[in-house]
Amino acid sequence: MATAIVILHILVCFLIIAMVLLQTGKGAAIGSTFGGGGSQALFGSSGPTSLLTKITAICAIIFMVTSIYLTILSKKAGTSSIMSETPAVSTPAPAPIEEPKAEPAADSMKSEEAAAPVEAKEADKTGGQK
């Protein structure tokens, strides 16, 4: 049933487009005053405006009804996902990050000596004199 409504909806869409494109504009009436009245003889003396307007109105009503029906139909279908059918996959926890080991005390003394200013080192060598 839903497929038939969708097909009808698409056909009505194309029919509305065709009917709107076939209708004459408002400025076409000015051309008929200067002798262009014979151009609409295909649909009779009254012109195609009344016939095309009626067909367009009918198509618009059908389009609105099918749009509302398809909207209601999609709400009733509910929301489902293909992911709800797949089993859950558990991933292993990452290994804990190991902190670097503390340096021995002798190495920390060397790093303190390296960080001391050069002037302090020279003062130590000369006995505090510059």
* CB-count exposure of residue 90 (10 Å: 0-12, 13-18, 19+): exposed
Quick check: 84 pLDDT over 60? yes
- Does residue 116 form part of some domain? no
- Does residue 111 form part of some domain? no
User: Can you list the alpha helix ranges (DSSP code H) found in 1-130?
Assistant: 2-22, 28-31, 49-77, 105-115, 118-126
- Does residue 6 form part of some domain? yes
Question: What pLDDT was estimated at residue 126?
Answer: 61
- Does residue 110 form part of some domain? no
Mean pLDDT of the chain: 74
- Does residue 118 form part of some domain? no
- Does residue 78 form part of some domain? no
- Does residue 115 form part of some domain? no
Structural domain count, the chain? 1
pTM of the model: 0.47
- Does residue 125 form part of some domain? no
Give the structural domain span for 43: 1-25+37-70
* pLDDT 10s digits, 27-39: 655 655 565 555 5
